[in-house]
Amino acid sequence: MTHVFYAVSAGSAEPGHLLILDGDEGHHAVKVRRIETGEQIEIIDGLGARAAGTVQSVSKQACVMLVESIEHDAEVVPPLTVIQALTKKDRADQVIELLTEVGVDTIIPWRAQRSVMKEVPAKWARIVVESCKQSRQARFPDVHEVTETAQIVQGVRDQVTLGAQVLICHERATAPIAEAVRADATGYVIVIGPEGGLTDDEISALVDAGGQLVLMGPSVLRAATAGAVAASIVSAVSGRWVARG
């Protein structure tokens, strides 16, 4: 399998040009992946560009690729946002990793009433890069700053006004999420509560703003994995998941 690396410069590369992979990514390519001259690799820029080519030279901390082709991954529609209540610290990395790998466009960390962790770990940015490389995606998700409940509720109201469908995952809901997905929605917003669950006040505020309670299935999932499962269901049912091609 072709190895994927990240460099902002991939976005401005052209076929026939040389693209230098240095810094942390260059070190990773040379010391960890053991990239060799003549090997085929891809370099993404996080904004949709994907440069593919052949390694021309390798030094101690960098390698140089001859660009042979450039692709630009289109934005997937309708857009998908996950509002994820902050989880326990030991699960936080798993949240961002899974949401990125399943192709969520926007991730909004929410400081819910029962959230244990209160801030976003600084290493999330690096996890996004590694997860996109792993899942072979050229476009990084937009990860927001931690958001308070009042702003979350207003954001839900605004999205509903624009035609988006807001799906609040809850174990006491009766409508299966796979059956609730509307084909005419301009976008999808999934709300995931913390490990301790959503409070009655939070549920009322989100529903009053236009959100819909949905059930993912008979199993009660961890908050850290529920978002990725819900996003996968919505992506499959709505047609967001199509082969890149």
Over the stretch 233-244, which tens digit does the pLDDT of each residue have?
Answer: 999 999 998 755
**pLDDT score at 155:** 98
Average pLDDT over residues 178-206: 97
Residues contacting 208, CB < 8 A, separation 6+: none
CA distance 139 to 159: 22
Q: Mean pLDDT, the chain, as a whole number? A: 94
Q: Is the pLDDT of residue 35 over 80?
A: yes
Strands (E) across 26-140 are located at: 40-44, 49-58, 63-72, 80-85, 106-110
Strands (E) across the chain are located at: 3-6, 18-21, 40-44, 49-58, 63-72, 80-85, 106-110, 142-143, 165-169, 188-192, 212-214
Q: Which residues pair with 72 in a beta bridge?
A: 49
Average pLDDT over residues 55-60: 96
**Could you read off the pLDDT of 173-190 as tens digits, one per residue?**
999 999 999 999 999 999
Based on the number of CB atoms within 10 Å of its own CB, is 35 exposed (0-12), middle (13-18) or buried (19 or more)?
buried
Q: Is the pLDDT of residue 202 over 70?
A: yes
